[in-house]
A and B are shown apart, each in its own frame.
Chain A
Amino acid sequence: MSEQSESNLISRAQAGDAEAFATLARSYERRLLVLALHYCRDRHDAEDLSQEVWLKAFRALKNFRGESSFYTWLRQITINTFLNDRRACGLKGAQVVELDAWEATRRDAANRDYFPLMRPPRGLEETVEQGLLVSRVLDALGHLTPQQRLIFLLKHHEGMTYEEISESLGCSTGATKKALFRAVLKLREGLGVELEAADYEPHPVRKSY
């Protein structure tokens, strides 16, 4: 979507045009839902959370003055909603990881609709492998604290800088760096990625990740 058409849609939505807002939402709904899925690790919670973000954005759109891009503004609403949800989760107690994918994948591997959000896999073997990987990653994400998870997602998925993250979350840059480092360590541990120092062959380091 071009910048001009986006600002046009924003103006119309601010004037109360619901259709314009829906068009605007379509541009970012995938990105937002995937982020929520990683954060909640549950499809229903992710749907609910992402839609809550859209509702808040709809209510607050009148206050949007165009000082930042629409997505930056929306992302801040997303972060605030996630943080509030995290607090709510903390009150509720344990978080539920719905996708116990290994058992479920074995049981329902033939069913292409098991992961209703996933693209249709090509074959049974791939389904199992993919399901296993999804399960392991979501499980590993579950071992992070909500703050570590959010920082990791903002860095890895959203490509925000340390300064932007610390500003959005209201913490120091040092704390953000530390949380991200711990998050990556935990993820590596959770995914069981092994160090290959024993049979070391000097791998070239990527120019940029």
Chain B
Amino acid sequence: MHDCRQTQEILVDLIFDELDFATRARVRAEVEGCAGCNAQYHSFTATLDACDEVSAALTPRESYWPQYRDTLGCRLARAAEEEAATESVAAEIVPFWKRLLTTSIRVPAPLAAIAMLLFVASSVLALTLLARPAPEPVVLALPASPRELNAPQIKLIEVPVVQEKIVTQIIYVPRRPTNGETLRRRLPRENLAGVKPQKASLPDAATPPRANLSGFKPAGEMNLRIIKGSGAREQ
């Protein structure tokens, strides 16, 4: 079924030979059989013919080219000079690490030889020390006496050392106030360990309250935890 719109959309492909053989044959047949598509096709080819004609007209004549080449030659020469200048500048700007690696200093030959010998000797010494095997443990073999030979054989069994750790924790709990007794509150962030109990006194306005254990009593229970062993053998 011929569809003018579809055919006209691929007319440009037909003109520029972008269709495969079968499609080209089909579209060509459709164009030849349809007035509208045929007119479209020929209008496109006429358009392209006009462009071709202008291309030929725009091609410069021979007298034009010497001037074009002169201009291009000048621009190329300038570009070459600029490139050479850029390269020379780039060559001058050598990065520090490169200069460091390529810098050479003049050293007197005897000094250089001595330095080289020292270097070689120290290298050989270091290599020798490294290559020497580690000393083996000395085993003293004493001749066994007849008594020792008759004695029961003793086997040494490695027993893990039992470690004991005793953790003592003393917990102070505040005593309940009784009969209007004012509870001295513990100041925050004060370490009470090692602070000796002292006589309770009301805090003075001038002197800041000191941390003490008054108002506290040892807890009724003392938790002791004995840990034997360590790691997986902890008991």
State in angstroms the CA–CA spacing of A206 and B226 once bound together. 108
A21 to B76, CA, bound (A): 10
Q: Note all chain B residues with C-beta closer than 8 A to A205.
A: 14, 28, 31-32, 38, 41
B21 to chain A, nearest CB (A): 12
In the complex, are the beta carbons of B18 and A18 less than 8 A apart? no
| Minimum Cβ distance to chain A for residue B15 (Å) | 5
B58 touches A26 (CB 8 A): no
Within 8 A of A (CB), among B1-60: 9, 12-18, 28, 31-33, 35-36, 38-48, 50-51, 53-55, 57-60
Could you say which residues of chain B place their CB within 8 Å of the CB of A37?
Answer: 58
Interface residues of B in 38-90 (CB under 8 A from A): 38-48, 50-51, 53-55, 57-61, 64-65, 68-69, 71-73, 75-77, 79-80, 83
CA distance A203 to B46 in the complex (A): 13
B73 nearest in chain A by CB position: A22
B31 and A191 contacting across the interface, CB-CB below 8 Å: no
Are A184 and B42 in touch, CB under 8 angstroms?
no
| Residues of chain B with a CB closer than 8 A to A161's CB | 18
Judged by a CB distance under 8 angstroms, whether A29 is at the interface is yes
Which A residues from 91 to 149 make CB contacts under 8 A with B? 115-120, 130, 133-134, 136-138
Which residues of B lie under 8 Å from residue A202 when comparing CB positions? 32-33, 35, 38
Contact A156 B48 (CB under 8 A): yes
Chain A interface SS verdict (over half): helix
- In the complex, which residues of chain B have a beta carbon less than 8 angstroms from the beta carbon of A33? 60, 68
B15 touches A119 (CB 8 A): no
A64 within 8 A of B: no
- B-contacting residues, A28-62, CB 8 Å: 29-30, 33-34, 37-38, 47, 51, 54-55, 58-59
Q: B71 to A187, Cβ gap below 8 A?
A: no
A residues in contact with B33, CB < 8 Å:
202
Residue in A closest to B72 when the chains form the complex, CB atoms: A51
Identity of the chain A residue whose Cβ is nearest the Cβ of B28 in the assembled complex:
A205
CA distance A197 to B121 in the complex (A): 103
Quote the shortest CB–CB distance from B126 to chain A (angstroms): 49
A67 within 8 A of B: no
Contact A130/B17 with A195-B39, A203-B42 known, Cβ cut-off 8 Å:
no
A3 within 8 A of B: no
Q: Measured between C-beta atoms, what is the minimum distance from A98 to chain B in Å?
A: 13
Report A-chain residues with C-beta under 8 Å of the C-beta of B46: 188, 193
Q: Which residues of B are interface residues toward A (Cβ below 8 A)?
A: 9, 12-18, 28, 31-33, 35-36, 38-48, 50-51, 53-55, 57-61, 64-65, 68-69, 71-73, 75-77, 79-80, 83
27 residue pairs A–B, Cβ–Cβ below 8 Å: A18-B80, A22-B69, A22-B72, A29-B68, A29-B69, A33-B68, A51-B68, A54-B75, A117-B60, A118-B58, A119-B57, A133-B53, A134-B58, A137-B50, A155-B16, A157-B55, A161-B18, A177-B13, A187-B47, A188-B44, A191-B47, A195-B40, A196-B43, A200-B39, A202-B33, A205-B14, A205-B28
Residues of chain A at the chain B interface (Cβ within 8 Å): 18, 21-22, 25-26, 29-30, 33-34, 37-38, 47, 51, 54-55, 58-59, 115-120, 130, 133-134, 136-138, 155-157, 161-162, 177, 180-181, 184, 187-188, 191, 193-197, 200, 202-206, 208-209
